[in-house]
Chain A
Amino acid sequence: EVQLVESGGDLVQSGGSLRLSCAASGLAISDYWMNWVRQAPGKGLEWVASIKEDGTERDYADSVRGRFTISRDNTKKSVTLQMNSLRVEDTAMYYCARDGGWHCFDHWGQGTPVTVSS
């Protein structure tokens, strides 16, 4: 089955850290940019971070730059989002998504929930 599976979401206190993981199965990711997209409760989709095929380029939304780090391991077909200095406003469902090209997100995981309490 073709899928992306996220894990690592949890309830954490403000200022804390979490590490999200995304594992691909039946789906090639080594030739694609990979992304994290989040959705706060009742809100729209917000792109968070992306990483180039070989990991040499990374990009972040202004809201997370300096606090979040995206990385990947193509040998393990996985993508990771290290989240530090978490804030209440980081509370959201976090999705891993493959960029099929030209910012078209052709495959999505089921999401992992992150809740940051004050």
Chain B
Amino acid sequence: QSALTQPASVSGSPGQSITISCTGTSSDIGAYNRVSWYQQHPGKAPKLIIYDVVNRPSGVSYRFSGSKSGTTASLTISGLQAEDEADYYCNSYRRNSSPVFGTGTKVTVL
């Protein structure tokens, strides 16, 4: 099964807002409100930061928010901080299919 499509890189200055897109199909993102996002710092394990499109697990900063329109999900980081520099991956439920991750986006804080 094909991976979800993300931009390879996104950058922004401290304090700015950036948005990462995750493009799927009518069989995954377009069909279910089951999109999750993961943050991965270099040398560290991934960490869940958004689930069910818009929800944040306990302890995750309010600066991270998720949304969805059609077959595209988005992760917005507001008030960008140096500590947000990391790789970000999306994931969506797909019925009768194995899990698949997005291609990943490297966020650089200028």
Residues of A within 8 A of B (CB): 35, 37, 44-47, 50, 59, 61, 95, 97, 99-100, 102-111
Contacts and interface: CB of A to CB of B under 8 A. Distances in A.
9 interchain residue pairs of minimum CB distance:
A102-B34, A44-B104, A102-B93, A45-B101, A47-B99, A103-B99, A104-B36, A108-B45, A103-B93
Given A100-B51, A102-B34, A102-B93, A95 B46 contact: yes
Nearest to B6: A44
Interface secondary structure of A, over-half rule: strand
Nearest to A6: B45
A106 B99 contact: no
B12 to A, nearest CB: 21
Interface string B25-68: 00000001010101010001111100110000100000000000
A91 B40 CA distance: 19
A45 B92 contact: no
Contacts of A109: 45
A105 B100 contact: no
